[in-house]
Amino acid sequence: MGPGGLAVLLAVLSGLRPAAAAAAASEERPASPAVATPCWRVEQFVVAQECTRCSGFEMKTIPACGPTGFIEKINCASSHRDEYKSCRSAALEAQRFWRFVGSALGVAAAAAALVVLRQRVLDRRALEKVRKQIESI
């Protein structure tokens, strides 16, 4: 399948008409950066305040709180602007990791228990079958 066929397949899967997909693919991104680009994306910055959980008020007023619920305050070097940047908390990531490990171990233990139980049932059936064969002799 060529690149054109792949574009049509993606268009069909995403619900776009083929003509709309071709128009969307031919669109070029503007060369100049957007006006609302945060300064930390285009210049060096220094972290003024470490990553902290957003308060209820900050969640409503600072858009950077939305993606993760944590923000850090940064100072951009060239423009000397203070901005907020979304970040990930190391403690929260560790907690999520160990929760995942615990749930994976729980699922593994449940699967092992089911395998043992199923094997016992199959062994009983095989013994019963052998017993019936011996009785019929």
Please classify residue 7 by burial: count the beta carbons closer than 10 Å to its beta carbon, then call 0-12 exposed, 13-18 middle and 19+ buried. Answer: middle
Percent of the chain with pLDDT over 70: 74
Structure tokens at 44: 């060096």
Place of tokens 């003024």: 48
Report the pLDDT value the prediction gives residue 23, as an integer from 0 to 100: 43
DSSP SS3 for 81: coil
pLDDT tens-digit readout, 19-76: 444 444 444 444 444 457 788 888 888 888 888 888 889 888 888 888 888 999 898 8
Q: How far apart are CA 74 and CA 52, in angstroms?
A: 12
